[in-house]
């Protein structure tokens, strides 16, 4: 187990970004607008029934930094550009990790790869989890790229699970195991 004390806020850094636990003080029209933007939520379930401001505050407050982490991605100048969310099953030492980049000007700029690498380090090294799982719909080719580029293993396909833009699409799961991540990131050091 690393330096993180369960129940306390998380703060991580990458070359370009600060990743830290979200609080209700971070909730405002800016964040809310992402969840009402069809382009941002195109591949996210939140777009089906987007929250209002009060619901969004409740959602943020519902993360305890023990088994659920909502981590905001902030530029070094403090602009909030997206989130990563991890839900942990402690007994199994498995987490589900999702990501949303709300600021479209940051799409295609490797934010997901950079920030998810840091969060994978946190989950798999600091928290000593065995496996992190993520997923995306089969029409989300950019997300598939990011999983493949980062070395995630395919972890199953749920056929025709969702409707996306009027079409039935598959839900593809990916997994990063601790042994793979440590071998990969140790090799890069």
Partner 1 sequence: MRAEEILASALAVPIESVPGDASIATFEPWDSLGHVAVIETLEAAIGRKLDANEVLTIVDVATIRSALERGSSAKAVR
Interface residues toward partner 1, by CB under 8 A: 107-108, 110, 112, 138, 141-146, 148-149, 154, 157, 169-170, 172
- Write down the least CB distance from residue 146 to partner 1, Å: 5
Q: Which is nearer to partner 1, 21 or 138 (CB)?
A: 138
C-beta atoms surrounding 50 within 10 Å: 17
Q: Which is nearer to partner 1, 93 or 158 (CB)?
A: 158
- Write down the least CB distance from residue 157 to partner 1, Å: 6
Q: Which is nearer to partner 1, 60 or 169 (CB)?
A: 169
- Burial letters 34-49, b for 16+ CB under 10 A, else e: bbeeeebbebbebbee
- Write down the least CB distance from residue 133 to partner 1, Å: 16
Q: Which is nearer to partner 1, 53 or 142 (CB)?
A: 142
- Write down the least CB distance from residue 184 to partner 1, Å: 11
Q: Which is nearer to partner 1, 2 or 156 (CB)?
A: 156
- Write down the least CB distance from residue 137 to partner 1, Å: 9
Q: Are 115 and 86 in contact (CB under 8 A)?
A: no
């Amino acid at each position: 187990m690393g330096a993180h004390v369960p129940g306390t806020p998380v703060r991580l850094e990458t070359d370009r970004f600060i990743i830290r636990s979200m609080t209700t003080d971070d909730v405002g029209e800016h964040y809310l607008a992402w969840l009402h933007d069809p382009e941002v939520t195109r591949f996210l379930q939140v777009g089906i029934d987007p929250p209002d401001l009060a619901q969004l505050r409740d959602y943020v407050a519902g993360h305890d930094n023990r088994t659920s982490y909502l981590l905001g991605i902030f530029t070094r100048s403090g602009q909030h550009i997206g989130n990563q969310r991890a839900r942990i099953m402690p007994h199994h030492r498995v987490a589900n990790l999702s990501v949303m980049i709300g600021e479209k000007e940051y799409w295609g700029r490797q934010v997901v790869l950079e920030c998810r690498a840091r969060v994978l380090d946190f989950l798999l090294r600091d928290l000593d989890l065995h496996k992190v799982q993520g997923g995306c719909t089969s029409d989300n080719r950019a997300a598939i790229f990011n999983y493949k580029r980062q070395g995630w293993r395919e972890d199953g396909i749920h056929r025709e699970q969702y409707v996306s833009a009027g079409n039935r699409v598959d839900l593809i799961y990916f997994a990063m195991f601790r042994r793979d991540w440590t071998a990969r990131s140790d090799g890069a050091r």
